[in-house]
Amino acid sequence: MAYHLKIHTGDNDPFTCSTCGKNFSSARSLQWHMDVHSGKRPHQCSQCGKSFKRLSNLREHGKIHTGERPFPCSQCGKTFLKLSNLKDHVLIHTRERPFGCTYCGNSFSTAKHEKVHSGEKPFTCAHCGKGCSSSSDLRKHTRVHTREKPFSCTQCGKSFTFASSLMRHILIHTETQPHPCSHCGKSFKHLTNLRIHTEDLPFTCCHMLLMWKVFLQNYSQQPPSVFLPGKLTRFPTLSLLKKNSFPTA
């Protein structure tokens, strides 16, 4: 009751962090926040050894190993580990792109694109010095050096560096084809294959049409010669695109 009364009195954030001065509404929230400064990660995954600050984060992480994906898309049936991932995915069907880039004027489903233009990469790899635009990208990149493959298939035991690679692999063991063509009804296991089938090219830069967002990011940094006005050459993999389009120096 006393905690609830703070809503009416306006005394909503009486607990202050002595390190950074940020205020919190409860002692528990303040205690959770203090872990940010201490770096403590007391909850460790028994499968891969990854540690977390909170037990709830560990439980959510555990779904990666069990294959549990409780959030299905009502449009195509694809399932997701997190609700936030589902919300991002739904934008594919609605074609909603609420984030406008102040540099190139294009719109995107997330706010991450602007870092392509700004070159902001504040997270540096301790192994090779490479800069990354986010802490999650840095964690993924670090696995290249450690050769860590924490995501294992429960069907065949094969391990993967990234959760997304495991999710794509799992489709090999199932007959699921969650991406149907709205024109002919043919279904595909992967969204990439559906886009090839429908010639859906949602990403543009300098009036060029690009099929994958990663192509757009590379094109924005160094316009490749292969994308000529009025002519679009597509490649099935990013490595093949780089070999044919980008300078290696």
User: What's the angle, vertex CA 122, arms to CA 105 and CA 162, rounded to 5?
Assistant: 85
Q: Is the pLDDT of residue 241 over 70?
A: no
Say if pTM beats, i.e. exceeds, 0.85: no
Given a contact cutoff of 8 angstroms between Cβ atoms, the answer to whether 242 and 220 are in contact is: no
Q: Is the pLDDT of residue 237 over 70?
A: no
- The pLDDT > 90 percentage for the chain reads 0
Residue 172 has what DSSP assignment? G
Instruction: Write the secondary structure of 10-52 as one string of H (helix), E (strand) and C (coil).
Output: CCCCCEECCCCCCEECCHHHHHHHHHHHHCCCCEECCCCCCEE
Q: Is the pLDDT of residue 165 over 80?
A: yes
Q: Set out the domains of the chain in order of their start, with CATH numbers.
A: 2-38 (3.30.160.60), 201-245 (no CATH)
Instruction: For residues 191 and 213, give the distance between their C-alpha atoms in angstroms, rounded to a whole number.
Output: 13
Distances (CA, A) of 170 to 100, 204, 213: 35, 31, 23
* DSSP reduced 3-state for 185: coil
State mean pLDDT over 22-40. Answer: 80
* Residue 205 token pair: 């830069």
Lowest mean pLDDT among 6-10, 34-38, 222-226: 222-226
Among 65, 90, 61, smallest CA distance to 78 is for: 90
Instruction: Give the model's pLDDT for residue 205.
Output: 40
Instruction: Give the model's pLDDT for residue 225.
Output: 41
Instruction: Give the model's pLDDT for residue 11.
Output: 57
**Quick count: other Cβ atoms within 10 Å of Cβ 150?**
19
Q: Is the pLDDT of residue 96 over 80?
A: no
Instruction: For residues 90 and 95, give the distance between their C-alpha atoms in angstroms, rounded to a whole number.
Output: 8
Instruction: Give the model's pLDDT for residue 149.
Output: 85
How does residue 6 score in pLDDT terms, banded at 50, 70 and 90? Answer: low
Counting every residue, how long is the chain?
Answer: 249
Instruction: Give the model's pLDDT for residue 8.
Output: 58
* DSSP element (H, E) containing 152: strand 151-152
* DSSP reduced 3-state for 74: coil
pLDDT: which is higher, 36 or 159: 159
Given a contact cutoff of 8 angstroms between Cβ atoms, the answer to whether 226 and 216 are in contact is: no
Dump pLDDT digits (tens) for 173-206: 877 777 787 778 788 777 777 767 666 544 444 4
pLDDT: which is higher, 181 or 232: 181
Most confident of 5-9, 44-48, 172-176: 44-48
How does residue 97 score in pLDDT terms, banded at 50, 70 and 90? Answer: confident
Instruction: Give the model's pLDDT for residue 230.
Output: 44
**Quick count: other Cβ atoms within 10 Å of Cβ 228?**
10
